[in-house]
Chains A and B, each alone.
Chain A
Amino acid sequence: QQQVKQSPQSLIVQKGGISIINCAYENTAFDYFPWYQQFPGKGPALLIAIRPDVSEKKEGRFTISFNKSAKQFSLHIMDSQPGDSATYFCAASIGGSARQLTFGSGTQLTVLP
């Protein structure tokens, strides 16, 4: 049972465009929502994260929008660049012995030059 659903599976955007990746979750006990970025041949790395007490978090060109009532959150990449081409994973976690993460299925983003 997938607790975090991510879409789209793949996304192609022109340089300078806006990339939008969406995630929906089911468990209302989740209280931490990170996005991870993975380049080919590398492990995922934390990109940006949000807690449910805020509706938006921005770091440079990357913004998370969070809608608690709809149980949805999304990643917006403004002014997308070819160097942003990577696989993006949303995730969610609950406090526990190790705060383990539940990941979405991933979105492969390609930014065309």
Chain B
Amino acid sequence: DVKVTQSSRYLVKRTGEKVFLECVQDMDHENMFWYRQDPGLGLRLIYFSYDVKMKEKGDIPEGYSVSREKKERFSLILESASTNQTSMYLCASSFPPRDPSYEQYFGPGTRLTVT
């Protein structure tokens, strides 16, 4: 079974703090993604990575950065957390587009509250 794990299920941080969200996958997937999920807005793509040290901006990258030093690990960084970044953060991974399965496998999510 594919497993995508996220470092924390719940996290509470203060405004201005630097926040690290970690994601690890065990399927040797090339692609990894970070989304935020908000009621009524669905899942919105923040950043994705298609290879080690490679990253591309998604639809809402402002206020976030990412790091992928190893294939299995993809980190989301909030440089200076703000209250509008309070959300559920979901990590996902998938095989490269050349693979006929386009399925993304999701972790359980991290509920981040910024106070």
Contact = CB atoms under 8 A, between A and B. Distances in A.
B52 to A, nearest CB: 13
Given A98-B48, A98-B97, A93 B42 contact: no
Interface residues of B, number: 30
Interface in B9-40: 30-31, 33, 35, 40
A103 B97 contact: no
Give the interface size bracket for A toward B: 20 to 34
Contact of A43 (B31, B90, B103): B90
Give the secondary structure class of B's interface: strand
A81 interface: no
A101 B106 contact: no
B75 interface: no
B42 A104 contact: yes
A9 to B, nearest CB: 7
Contacts of B4: 43
Contact of B40 (A9, A42, A101): A9
Contact of A89 (B43, B59, B96): B43
B115 to A, nearest CB: 22
B8 interface: no
Contact of A42 (B42, B103, B108): B108
Nearest to A31: B102
Interface string A84-102: 0000010001011111111
Interface of B: 4, 30-31, 33, 35, 40-45, 48-50, 56, 58-59, 90, 92, 94, 96-97, 102-109
Interface of A: 6, 9, 32, 34, 41-46, 49, 89, 93, 95-106
